[in-house]
Amino acid sequence: MKIDGVLYRTIWPSDDGASVVIVDQTRLPHRFETVTLGTLEEAAHAIRVMQVRGAPLIGVTAAYGLALALVRDASDAALAQAIELLAGQRPTAINLRWALEEMRSVLQPQPPGDRACRAFAKAAEMADEDVETCRRIGGHGLKLIEEIAKTKPAGEPVNILTHCNAGWLACVDWGTATSPIYHAHDAGIPVHVWVDETRPRNQGAALTAFELGAHGVPHTLIVDNAGGHLMQHGKVDLCIVGTDRVAANGDVANKIGTYLKALAAHDTGVPFYVALPYSTIDWTLSSGRDIPIEERGADEVLVMQGRTADGTVAEVEIAAPGSPAANPAFDVTPARLVTGLITERGIALASREGLAALYPERRESAA
């Protein structure tokens, strides 16, 4: 993604090779700032406070965090402890655990003296692979947008609704849900994106709107409750969202509110697609019922953050004093509400059979 004419990924190793640089997503959209992570603890902190977020990106950050840990101590015990610390930072996105288990399987057999170097190389491979995977997802999703574009009067845009940020900022580049959109826009197909603000952390308003704007994609920010109304009035042609974990039966966990969008899409006949890389499929879960849902602090609901006229970032309390708040960060959309899963291998039906057809090598191990 180009920001002010400079091509960026969301994470990259620093020039000295001993640290890693991230875009600090807690500063967006007001400031585009980078942060250097030099230790395991700094990487864990970046994941916990959501300086990096989005399922694929927290996986890649954890991989680099493990490499940073091994520079200090590459013993078997340190490897195991670092994996445990990183895996515990966020519970719902399976990519975090997937990336750490991939790292473990490569690093465990290595002599300790070789581990740090191998870990940096493997983390870099994962980052490159994420870019290619997301690019492929975009190629497959593009076909859906092309088909809808053919049905529209000339020059009229394909209206796509997305929830949260499953974009460049949630991955290393391209995004999952946004990759088909960027591909379509770059191919000259008129697209317009309805961006759910995504309370309470407003990833849609702060991040998705920011990156679509940076790429020149026409978009409109809406409150989370507007989607159903727009769908009823024929203003949404297609929904595409990302996901943090897909169970073996095609149930999908994603940012809280995704389920309500899927219900509205189902009721109004709007196709509802979920874009994901293979690393988001949890083959060990037979349904979405057992996906752990992150519970976050009440402050995120009770307090809103924004920028005042003089440019200072300020927090304001929005609730009646003393009211408690609950903050489940994700929900599960049943497979029956999902029109299809857009993956790097193609588009699958959201079902055990659909996933098994795309990933035959996992057929035996799926729960």
Ligand X SMILES: CSC[C@@H](O)[C@@H](O)C(=O)COP(=O)(O)O
User: Which amino acids are annotated as binding site for substrate, given as ranges?
Assistant: 53-55, 90, 203, 254-255
The nearest distance, CB 73 to ligand X, in angstroms, is 29
By DSSP bridging, strand 313-317 and strand 245-247 are unpaired
Q: Which has the closest alpha carbon to 62: 118, 109, 23, 104?
A: 104
Nearer to ligand X, 242 or 340 (CB): 242
- Which segment (47-55, 103-111, 216-224, 332-340) binds ligand X by CB under 6 A? 47-55
Q: Should residue 176 be labelled a site residue for ligand X when binding is judged by CB under 6 A?
A: yes
Contacting ligand X within 278-337 (CB under 6 A):
329
Q: Which single residue brings its beta carbon nearest to ligand X?
A: 242
244 binds ligand X (CB under 6 A): yes
- We find the least distance from the C-beta atom of residue 162 to ligand X, in angstroms, to be 9
DSSP letter for 310, please: T
Which x/- pattern over 112-151 shows residues binding ligand X (rule: CB under 6 A)?
A: ----------------------------------------
How far apart are the C-alpha atoms of 354 and 350, rounded to whole Å? 6
Q: For residues 238 and 148, is the Cβ–Cβ distance under 8 A?
A: yes
244 labelled catalytic: yes
Q: Which residue has the tokens 């024929």?
A: 234
User: Would you say 180 or 242 has its CB closer to ligand X?
Assistant: 242
Which residues between 52 and 91 bind ligand X (CB under 6 A)?
A: 53-56
CA distance 56 to 46: 14
CB 241 within 8 A of CB 274: yes
- Asked if residue 51 binds ligand X (CB under 6 A), the reply is no
The rounded distance, in Å, linking the Cα atoms of 17 and 49 is 24
Distance, in Å, from the CA atom of 62 to the CA atom of 32, rounded to the nearest integer, reads 22
Smallest distance from the beta carbon of 339 to ligand X, in angstroms? 17
Which residue in the set 185, 245, 255, 352 belongs to the binding site for ligand X (CB under 6 A)?
255
Regarding 164 and contact with ligand X (CB under 6 A), the answer is: yes
- 224 is a site residue for ligand X (CB under 6 A): no
Contact between 195 and ligand X (CB under 6 A)? Answer: no
Query: Given the rule CB under 6 A, which of 41-49, 60-68, 102-110, 236-244 is the region that contacts ligand X?
Result: 236-244
Q: Which of 244, 251, 282, 331 is catalytic?
A: 244
Q: Is 339 in the site for ligand X (CB under 6 A)?
A: no
CB of 94 to ligand X, least distance (A): 10
Distances (CA, A) of 344 to 168, 170, 185, 358: 16, 16, 19, 10
CB of 280 to ligand X, least distance (A): 7
Cα 210 from Cα 221, distance rounded (Å) = 11
Q: How far is residue 170's CA from residue 166's CA, in Å, rounded to a whole number?
A: 5
Q: And the tokens for 170?
A: 């949630």
Q: Give the residue from 78, 77, 74, 81 showing the smallest Cα distance to 117.
A: 74
CB 358 within 8 A of CB 347: no
Binding site for ligand X (CB under 6 A): 53-56, 93, 164, 166, 170-171, 176, 203, 242-244, 254-255, 329
Which active-site residues does the annotation give?
244
